[in-house]
């Protein structure tokens, strides 16, 4: 088990390297001068040259990358082109808001999704068909649009919850919770339906397997077979679906934070894009990748707990 | 060739359009695409024409979906805006498919190092935060949106590769691929004819999902302002415009988001229906004539025969442990198709009874029905299952459950898959012990080791700690037997317990079962197709054909003087009774499927002794010597030649 | 003695990748004369199927030679095998060995591709073969789903025969069939051998079936041929300990004979199975 974790940790290093290297490669591949793109046509040649030097663009891309990597390892992710403040400070300031909605949406999706999936798998018939329809709907509704509708109905018309904004947990837990409800619902709708569908399929596969019949022949009750045996065996695809959803929901924050005006990492990335603020975008990439690495590690450890074969491998 | 040709000849397109969901999805999608592409032809207004006097109107006959803040017609803008939106989705899909499908097929087909490499890259790619990378591309490529669409397509490749690859791996293992290779079908033809059509369904579904994600993502980007520039319409930018005026004209928000949603819904539904249509011809239909394939059409769908038609069944012995009386089992909706028809037999204390027959005769169904473990829509529709003075067929599920393990235990054909793969085998057995006896964990553990010693494990404690994937088939079957013994049952139902095992292991298991009977007086109902197993272990045999018992007799009588032509035919077909130089005796034809079973003798069409009388009336099971035989010509059945001794 | 149509010398095969790689066949040698049958028996994991696959070019041997009509084909994988279908295979599972999306005519034409026959000639040959295996000509226009297991195995035999091979590898060719159908197919295989002079490599785990079909028998155990010789001789007077164990485990479909065998076996008890 420890070996499994260590191997997975070792595997996460190349992921971070490749993801960030990719960014430098893209920068290098652009036809034309990134510094000129960043500053726009009105800047003077001197200004462009100064920015080139300060961004290190005058050196080959891998030299730039190694320099950036060296700084990053020391906790320095550069300075924002727009705000001129250290990127890492901005990221740390905005991380809690993003984490709140991402973790919230994942937990809500996992709990409701698994519950719904189990219900529809066991009941079959109309419940199964309903689960399929909901899965399709949950996938089809654009989440940013759903967010807007929720704001219009719940916040503006009914005035039950704040429409936009975010209050840190440390300031007021109650306000924090209220601010999270709508964004979390917005993100979780797709997650609940997707995880429910995956759970249902995995569980139905397991329930059709021979060992379930053998357990019935032992005289076990259906509910005990479901809880103690079927769910555990269906666990790997379910956990995989939850992990995949987490990665997807990170991207979803880009839109949802904009809809709800939440000061998180996604919103930061959106603001940085038209301003060509590369250091900020790179920083967000690093943070998101790190989150993915952590979640994948958790997923792998869960695999090991669920399946003795994985543990042995 | 009794089965009619399946509609496989019908094209997938026709099948998609004959499905109501497929048809409506195809219509909706076509309507949306055509309406948007031809927007210049039929959009009622110029999408850019502003009319400030008519701003923010609700739906009217002039403006079906109302107007926006600048008085532009929302419907016209939606139609024109569809072009860049749909085009973006198409770009994403094309990029992903062009790169992903060949890579996935190459990795899945080639395997080895290439597969390992691709899997690594896929793992990496799956962990990349796609949205941020797309923003990065947008930041650098400014207004050249195509690059961000291509980037998004490439970022979706890993997920696509993962799924298409495993579909390819599944096909690669099919024997028809090997057969084609033996015939030296060149690789391009092999791929085009045998592999690609098989994975096409998967690719179609993935394509529809990727196109959907593409549409959702790119409209999302447009909503954020990374789309076509200002006055030009696109679906995403229109959502943004609508959001700022949603109080004045809520229709606009519903219309824009709804259109995106409907498009995705249609794409997804169409993908699944097309996949189903493509997969249909690959479905393993018409395999064994088993009970799970009830046919509604076909010749004379026979109703469940009344019990009287089968004549006086032999009276069960008074001390029978199990007494099955005229049990009928049906599958399928409504009255169902009877796959087991008025079967009667009994098992005495300490007796081993073989239930013999070929696949599709209903022998496994009988075994499962006795335990109340019928699959799918299967149910006992008539007769009784007497056990310990009670009728199991009339019991509630709870009562039946209490009897399982303690009264009747079960051993299945595939020992490896009968065990929960996530649990140590000792725990599985110990839990069963605790269920039946309510003892403590330590006691259950000790009892488990006792049971393991009883099924002849040299080191029971070690075996307890093993997982199912760590043991062999023979060991697994012994674990299964130990588990069956956990509740001290009076009857063991064993469904082909040695079929999946090698002959040397088979002998060990048979020896074990025999010893258990000798030592504990356990009764065993043994389902098998193997005459050798019957000869070795059974005291008596019940021969089934086409859902009916055709003969029962003590084992030695059955082998030396069978009283039913089917029994005699099966015995004669056994190659061990033939010499190398001669031909085997055969039974012509094959077992008809349940829907084609006649009310008269079901074996008549394959029988050399059959007369008109056999095809005129139902034939009852009647006593002949020590046998019971369902044959009008029981006295004319010839014995198979005796085996030559000694090997 | 006629020249053998198939000669396997010192065949060695390793399967798996890297760390998982292990040798599953060691120094396997045998010959098959034209029109004769060699039975290859062994239990699961003995390597009998791998032997068949190596001969058919579906796995690459690590060393050794496979002489087909005197030509060494051991270095040639399937796509480069010379000749027009000299060797064919009948597989175990009649359900997965034929592509369900193709019509029978297309399935039967596949082995004929390399012969470059005119379409009409190919069709004529296919019809002839179908009649030979006892199926109606109308079957050509159907899909395999329309056929029962026994009929499919007849189709598989027709496919194997249509290119007029000299050797057919029968890999557990009747194991999936019911007893009554199995007897029909075994008779068919024998008749075809007598008429066409085909040689069979008959791979199976059921010793009764293999004995019925084979002139000679080779016994595989853990990837090695432990005993080979005349079929009746090997099974009636086994010399190797493993063959003895295997033969003594065969169940006789005659209760009295079986009781006699059992008395012999219990006198020499076998130990715990493999773990």
**CB-closest option in C44, C149, C251 to B532:** C251
Question: Taking the CA of residue B495 as centre, how many other CA atoms within 13 Å lie in the half-sphere pointing to its CB?
Answer: 24
Residues C75 and C179 in one domain: yes
pLDDT at B283 over 80: no
The position carrying tokens 């023979």 is: B474
- Which pairing describes strands B390-391 and B379-387: parallel, antiparallel, or unpaired? antiparallel
Taking only the tens place, the pLDDT of each residue in A255-296 is: 999 989 899 999 999 998 888 888 888 889 889 988 988 898
| CB neighbour list of residue B555: distance below 8 Å, 6 or more residues apart | B354, B534, B535, B538, B539, B540, B541, C255
Q: Does residue B472 sit at the C interface (CB-CB below 8 Å)? A: yes
pLDDT at C34: 93
Q: Which residues of C246-264 are buried (b: 16+ CB within 10 A; e: fewer)?
A: bbbbbbbbbbebbeebbee
Label residue B420 by pLDDT band (50, 70, 90): very high
Label residue A107 by pLDDT band (50, 70, 90): very high
Is the Cβ pair B140, A26 closer than 8 Å?
yes
Range C217-242 average pLDDT: 92
- The three-state secondary structure class of C228 is strand
pLDDT at B10: 60
Q: What is the DSSP string of B253-316?
A: HHHHHHHHHHHHHHHHHHHHHHHHHHHHTTS-TT-S--TT---SSSS--PPPPPGGGG--PPPP
Q: What is the DSSP string of C76-87?
A: --GGG--SSS-E
Other beta carbons within 10 angstroms of residue B91's beta carbon come to: 20
pLDDT at B642: 52
pLDDT at B252 over 80: yes
pLDDT at B423: 92
- Which pairing describes strands C216-221 and C37-41: parallel, antiparallel, or unpaired? parallel
Residues C171 and C206 in one domain: yes
For B3, B302, B631, C135, C143, the CA distances from B298, given in Å and listed in that order, are 9, 10, 26, 22, 19
Label residue B462 by pLDDT band (50, 70, 90): very high
The position carrying tokens 């009344």 is: B306
pLDDT at B444: 94
Label residue A30 by pLDDT band (50, 70, 90): low
A positions 270-299 inside 8 Å of B (CB) = 270, 272-278, 281-282, 284-285, 288-289, 292-293, 296
What is the Cα–Cα distance from B329 to B342, expressed in whole angstroms?
Answer: 8
**CB-closest option in B124, B135, B419 to A270:** B135
What is the Cα–Cα distance from B29 to B265, expressed in whole angstroms?
Answer: 9
Residues C254 and C216 in one domain: no
Q: Which residues lie across from C6 on neighbouring strands? A: C32, C68
- The three-state secondary structure class of B421 is coil
Label residue B552 by pLDDT band (50, 70, 90): very high
The position carrying tokens 């060149």 is: B186
Q: Is A173 exposed, middle or buried (0-12, 13-18, 19+ CB in 10 A)?
A: exposed
A22 sits in which H/E element: helix A2-29
Chain-centroid distance, C-alpha C8:
15
Averaged confidence pLDDT in chain B: 85
- The three-state secondary structure class of B514 is helix
Range A171-189 average pLDDT: 88
Residues C166 and C263 in one domain: no
Other beta carbons within 10 angstroms of residue B34's beta carbon come to: 12
Label residue C74 by pLDDT band (50, 70, 90): confident
pLDDT at C60 over 60: yes
Most B CBs within 10 A among A98, A138, A197, A214, hence the mutation to make, goes to: A214
pLDDT at B314: 55
CATH topology for A94-312 is MetI-like fold (1.10.3720)
Range B133-147 average pLDDT: 84
- Which pairing describes strands C37-41 and C199-204: parallel, antiparallel, or unpaired? parallel
Residues C91 and C128 in one domain: yes
Label residue A153 by pLDDT band (50, 70, 90): confident
Q: Which residues of B313-345 are buried (b: 16+ CB within 10 A; e: fewer)?
A: beebeeebbbbbbebbbbbbeeebbbbbbbbbb
Residues C229 and C157 in one domain: yes
Q: Quick one: tokens of A246?
A: 């987490």
How many distinct structural domains can be found in chain C?
A: 2
Q: Does residue B583 sit at the C interface (CB-CB below 8 Å)? A: yes
Q: Quick one: tokens of B568?
A: 């005699």
Task: For residue C83, give the CATH number of its domain.
Answer: 3.40.50.300
For A167, A241, A308, B124, B299, the CA distances from A236, given in Å and listed in that order, are 36, 9, 12, 19, 46
For chain A, the structural domain boundaries read 32-76, 94-312
Least confident of B96-100, B171-175, B310-314, B498-502: B310-314
Most A CBs within 10 A among B140, B163, B166, B269, hence the mutation to make, goes to: B140
Question: pLDDT above 90 covers what percent of chain B?
Answer: 47
pLDDT at B303 over 50: no
pLDDT at B125 over 80: yes
Other beta carbons within 10 angstroms of residue B247's beta carbon come to: 11
pLDDT at B7 over 50: no
pLDDT at B643 over 70: no
What is the Cα–Cα distance from A34 to A38, expressed in whole angstroms?
Answer: 6
Least confident of A147-156, B167-176, B283-292, C144-153: B283-292
- Residue C49: what are its φ and ψ, rounded to 5°? -65, -40
Domain with C215, as residue range(s), is 6-236
B168 sits in which H/E element: helix B157-172
Give the chain B residue whose CA is nearest to the CA of A252. B131
Q: Does residue A140 sit at the B interface (CB-CB below 8 Å)? A: yes
Q: Quick one: tokens of B10?
A: 């019908």
User: If we measure between CA atoms, which residue out of B280, B289, B282, B294 comes closest to residue B2?
Assistant: B289
- The three-state secondary structure class of B485 is helix
Residues C248 and C219 in one domain: no
Residues C93 and C198 in one domain: yes
Q: Quick one: tokens of A168?
A: 């840190």
Question: Taking the CA of residue B178 as centre, how many other CA atoms within 13 Å lie in the half-sphere pointing to its CB?
Answer: 25
pLDDT at C126 over 90: yes
Question: pLDDT above 70 covers what percent of chain B?
Answer: 91
Is the Cβ pair C180, B587 closer than 8 Å?
yes
Give the chain C residue whose CA is nearest to the CA of B587. C180
User: If we measure between CA atoms, which residue out of C41, C39, C30 comes closest to residue C245?
Assistant: C41
Residues C89 and C135 in one domain: yes
pLDDT at B442: 93
Is the Cβ pair C146, B6 closer than 8 Å?
yes
Taking CB atoms and an 8 Å cutoff, what residues of chain A touch B401?
Answer: 216, 219-221
ipTM, two decimals, is 0.90
Give the chain C residue whose CA is nearest to the CA of B360. C178
Q: Is A15 exposed, middle or buried (0-12, 13-18, 19+ CB in 10 A)?
A: buried
pLDDT at C272: 42
Is the Cβ pair B127, A296 closer than 8 Å?
yes
Residues C260 and C206 in one domain: no
**CB-closest option in B197, B472, B530 to C273:** B472
Least confident of B48-57, C28-37, C110-119, C215-224: B48-57
pLDDT at B538 over 90: yes
Cβ pairs bridging B and C (under 8 Å) = 248
Label residue A31 by pLDDT band (50, 70, 90): low
- Which pairing describes strands C199-204 and C22-32: parallel, antiparallel, or unpaired? unpaired
- Nearest CA-CA distance, residue A116 and chain B, Å: 21
Is the Cβ pair B140, A27 closer than 8 Å?
yes
CA Rg value for chain C: 19
Taking only the tens place, the pLDDT of each residue in C236-273 is: 899 999 999 898 888 888 888 888 888 877 655 444 44
pLDDT at B304: 38
Q: Check: CB of residue C99 under 8 Å from CB of residue C109.
A: no
Label residue B316 by pLDDT band (50, 70, 90): low
pLDDT at A236 over 70: yes
3-state helix vs strand vs coil in chain C, percent to 5: 40, 25, 35
Domain assignment present for C57? yes
Domain assignment present for C64? yes
Which chains are adjacent to chain C, needing at least 3 Cβ pairs under 8 Å? B
- Nearest CA-CA distance, residue A170 and chain B, Å: 28
Least confident of A43-52, B454-463, C26-35: A43-52
- The three-state secondary structure class of A33 is coil
- Residue B67: what are its φ and ψ, rounded to 5°? -130, 160
CA Rg value for chain A: 23
Residues C186 and C91 in one domain: yes
The alpha-helical segments, DSSP class H, found in A56-172 are 61-73, 87-123, 125-140, 143-150
Range B525-541 average pLDDT: 93
Helix axes A278-306, A231-259, angle to 10 degrees: 160
Taking only the tens place, the pLDDT of each residue in C157-178 is: 999 999 889 999 999 998 888 8
| CB neighbour list of residue B307: distance below 8 Å, 6 or more residues apart | B326, B342, B382, B383
Residues C17 and C153 in one domain: yes
3-state helix vs strand vs coil in chain B, percent to 5: 55, 10, 35
A positions 33-92 inside 8 Å of B (CB) = 34, 37
pLDDT at A130 over 80: yes
- Give all strands of the β-sheet with B322-331 in edge-to-edge order: B337-347, B322-331, B379-387, B390-391
Q: What is the DSSP string of C2-21?
A: PPPSEEEEEEEEEESSGGG-
Taking only the tens place, the pLDDT of each residue in B606-623 is: 888 888 988 988 888 888
Domain assignment present for C1? no
Averaged confidence pLDDT in chain A: 86
Other beta carbons within 10 angstroms of residue C58's beta carbon come to: 16
Taking only the tens place, the pLDDT of each residue in C177-212 is: 888 888 989 999 999 999 999 999 999 988 889 999
Is the Cβ pair B179, C97 closer than 8 Å?
yes
- Nearest CA-CA distance, residue C145 and chain B, Å: 6
Is the Cβ pair C89, B182 closer than 8 Å?
yes
- Residue C116: what are its φ and ψ, rounded to 5°? 55, 50
Q: Check: CB of residue B637 under 8 Å from CB of residue B329.
A: no
User: If we measure between CA atoms, which residue out of B193, B208, B197, B220 comes closest to residue B160?
Assistant: B208
What is the Cα–Cα distance from B132 to B115, expressed in whole angstroms?
Answer: 28
pLDDT at C82 over 80: no
Q: Check: CB of residue A86 under 8 Å from CB of residue A76.
A: yes
- Nearest CA-CA distance, residue B169 and chain C, Å: 15
**CB-closest option in A23, A149, A247 to B127:** A247
Q: Is B582 exposed, middle or buried (0-12, 13-18, 19+ CB in 10 A)?
A: exposed
């Amino acid at each position: 088990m420890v070996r499994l974790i260590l191997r997975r940790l070792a595997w996460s290093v190349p992921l971070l390297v490749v993801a960030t290297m990719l960014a430098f490669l893209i920068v290098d591949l652009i036809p034309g001068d990134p510094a000129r793109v960043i500053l726009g046509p009105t800047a003077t040649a001197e200004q462009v040259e100064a920015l080139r030097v300060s961004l290190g663009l005058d050196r080959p891309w891998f030299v730039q990358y190694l320099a950036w990597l060296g700084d990053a390892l020391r906790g320095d992710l550069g300075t924002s082109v727009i705000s001129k403040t250290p990127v890492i400070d901005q990221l740390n300031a905005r991380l809690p808001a993003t984490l709140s909605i991402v973790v919230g949406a994942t937990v809500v999706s996992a709990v409701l999704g698994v519950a719904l999936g189990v219900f529809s798998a066991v009941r079959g018939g109309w419940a199964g068909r309903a689960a399929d329809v909901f899965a399709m709907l949950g996938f089809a509704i654009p989440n940013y649009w759903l967010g807007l509708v929720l704001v219009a109905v719940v916040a503006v018309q009914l005035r039950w919850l704040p429409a936009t904004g975010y209050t840190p947990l440390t300031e007021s837990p109650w306000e924090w919770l209220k601010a999270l409800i709508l964004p979390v619902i917005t993100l979780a709708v797709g997650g609940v339906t997707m995880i429910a569908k995956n759970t249902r399929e995995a569980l139905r596969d397991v329930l059709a397997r021979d060992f379930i019949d053998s357990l019935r022949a032992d005289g076990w009750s259906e509910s005990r077979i479901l809880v103690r045996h079927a769910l555990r065996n269906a666990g790997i695809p379910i956990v995989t679906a939850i992990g995949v959803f987490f990665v997807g929901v990170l991207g979803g924050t880009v839109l949802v934070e904009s809809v709800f005006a939440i000061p998180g990492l996604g919103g930061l990335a959106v603001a940085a894009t038209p301003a060509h603020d590369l250091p900020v975008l790179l920083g967000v990439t690093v943070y998101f990748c790190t989150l993915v690495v952590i979640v994948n590690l958790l997923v792998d450890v869960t695999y090991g707990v669920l399946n003795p074969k994985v543990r042995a491998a | 060739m009794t089965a009619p040709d399946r509609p496989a000849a019908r094209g997938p397109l026709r099948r998609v359009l004959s499905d109501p969901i497929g048809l409506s999805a195809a219509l909706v999608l076509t309507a949306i695409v055509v309406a948007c592409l031809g927007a210049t032809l039929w959009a009622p207004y110029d999408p850019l024409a502003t009319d400030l006097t008519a701003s923010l109107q609700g739906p009217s006959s002039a403006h079906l979906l109302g107007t926006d803040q600048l008085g532009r017609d929302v419907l016209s803008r939606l139609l024109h805006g569809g072009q860049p939106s749909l085009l973006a989705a198409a770009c994403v899909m094309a990029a992903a498919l062009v790169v992903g499908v060949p890579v996935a097929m190459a990795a899945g087909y080639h395997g080895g190092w290439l597969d390992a490499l691709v899997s690594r890259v896929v793992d990496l790619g799956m962990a990349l935060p796609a949205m941020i990378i797309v923003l990065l591309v947008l930041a650098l490529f400014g207004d050249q949106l195509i690059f961000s669409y291509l980037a998004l397509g490439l970022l979706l490749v890993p997920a696509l590769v993962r799924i298409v690859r495993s579909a390819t791996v599944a096909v690669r293992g099919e024997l028809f691929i090997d057969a084609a290779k033996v015939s030296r079908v060149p690789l391009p033809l092999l791929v085009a004819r045998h592999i690609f059509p098989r994975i096409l369904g998967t690719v179609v579904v993935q394509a529809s999902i990727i196109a959907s994600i593409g549409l959702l993502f790119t409209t999302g980007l447009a909503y954020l302002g990374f789309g076509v520039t200002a006055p030009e319409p696109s679906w995403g930018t229109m959502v943004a415009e609508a959001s700022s005026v949603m109080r004045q004209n809520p229709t606009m928000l519903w219309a824009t988001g709804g259109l995106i949603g409907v498009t995705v819904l249609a794409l997804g539904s169409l993908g699944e229906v097309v996949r189903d249509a493509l997969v249909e011809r690959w479905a393993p239909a018409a395999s064994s004539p088993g009970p799970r394939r009830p046919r509604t059409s076909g010749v004379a769908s026979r109703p469940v025969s009344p019990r009287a038609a089968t004549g006086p069944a032999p009276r069960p012995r008074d001390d029978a442990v199990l007494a099955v009386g005229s049990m009928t089992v049906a599958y399928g909706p409504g009255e169902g198709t009877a796959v087991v028809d008025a079967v009667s037999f009994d098992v005495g204390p300490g007796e081993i009874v073989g239930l013999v027959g070929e696949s599709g005769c209903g022998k496994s169904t009988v075994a499962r029905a006795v335990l109340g473990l019928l699959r799918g829509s299967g149910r006992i529709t008539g007769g009784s299952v007497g056990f310990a003075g009670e009728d199991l067929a009339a019991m509630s599920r709870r009562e039946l459950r209490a009897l399982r393990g303690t009264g009747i235990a079960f051993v299945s054909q595939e020992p490896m898959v009968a065990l929960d793969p996530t649990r140590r085998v000792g725990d599985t057995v110990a839990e069963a012990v605790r269920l039946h006896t309510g003892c403590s964990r330590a006691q259950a553990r000790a009892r488990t080791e006792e049971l393991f010693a009883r099924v002849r494990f040299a080191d029971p404690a070690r075996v307890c700690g093993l997982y199912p994937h760590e043991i062999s088939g023979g060991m697994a079957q012994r674990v299964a037997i130990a588990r069956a013994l956990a509740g001290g049952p009076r009857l063991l139902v064993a469904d082909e317990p040695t079929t999946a095992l090698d002959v040397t292991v088979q002998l060990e298991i048979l020896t074990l079962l025999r010893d258990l009977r000798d030592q504990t007086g356990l009764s065993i109902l043994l389902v098998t197709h193997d005459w050798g197993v019957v000869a070795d272990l059974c005291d008596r045999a019940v021969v089934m054909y086409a859902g009916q018992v055709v003969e029962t007799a003590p084992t030695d009588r059955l082998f030396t003087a069978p009283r039913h032509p089917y029994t005699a035919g099966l015995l004669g077909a056994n190659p061990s009774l033939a010499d190398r130089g001669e031909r085997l005796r055969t039974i012509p034809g094959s077992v008809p499927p349940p829907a084609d079973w006649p009310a008269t003798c079901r074996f008549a069409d394959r029988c050399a002794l059959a007369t008109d009388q056999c095809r005129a009336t139902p034939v009852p099971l009647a006593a002949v010597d020590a046998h019971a035989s369902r044959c009008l010509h029981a006295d004319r059945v010839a014995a198979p030649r005796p085996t030559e001794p000694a090997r | 003695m006629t020249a053998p149509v198939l000669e396997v010398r010192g065949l060695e095969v390793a399967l798996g990748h890297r760390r998982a790689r292990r040798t599953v066949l060691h120094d396997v040698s045998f010959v098959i004369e034209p029109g004769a049958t060699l039975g290859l028996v062994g239990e699961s994991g003995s390597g009998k199927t791998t032997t068949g696959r190596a001969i058919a070019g579906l796995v690459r041997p690590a060393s050794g030679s496979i002489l087909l009509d005197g030509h060494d084909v051991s270095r040639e994988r399937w796509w480069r095998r010379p000749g027009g279908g000299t060797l064919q295979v009948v597989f175990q599972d009649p359900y997965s060995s034929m592509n369900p999306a193709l019509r029978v005519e297309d399935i039967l034409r596949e082995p004929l591709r390399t012969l470059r026959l005119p379409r009409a000639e190919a069709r004529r040959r296919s019809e002839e073969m179908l009649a030979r295996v006892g199926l109606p000509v109308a079957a050509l226009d159907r899909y395999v789903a329309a056929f029962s297991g026994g009929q499919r195995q007849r189709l598989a035999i027709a496919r194997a025969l249509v290119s007029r091979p000299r050797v057919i590898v029968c890999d557990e060719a009747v194991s999936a069939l019911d007893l009554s159908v199995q007897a029909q197919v075994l008779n068919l295989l024998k008749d075809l051998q007598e008429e066409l002079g085909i040689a069979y490599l008959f791979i199976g785990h059921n010793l009764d079936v293999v004995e019925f079909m084979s002139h000679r028998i080779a016994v595989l155990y853990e990837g090695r041929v432990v005993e080979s010789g005349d079929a009746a001789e090997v099974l009636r007077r086994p010399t190797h300990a493993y063959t003895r164990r295997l033969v003594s485990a065969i169940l006789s479909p005659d209760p009295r004979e079986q009781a006699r065998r059992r008395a012999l076996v219990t006198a020499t008890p076998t130990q715990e199975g493999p773990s």
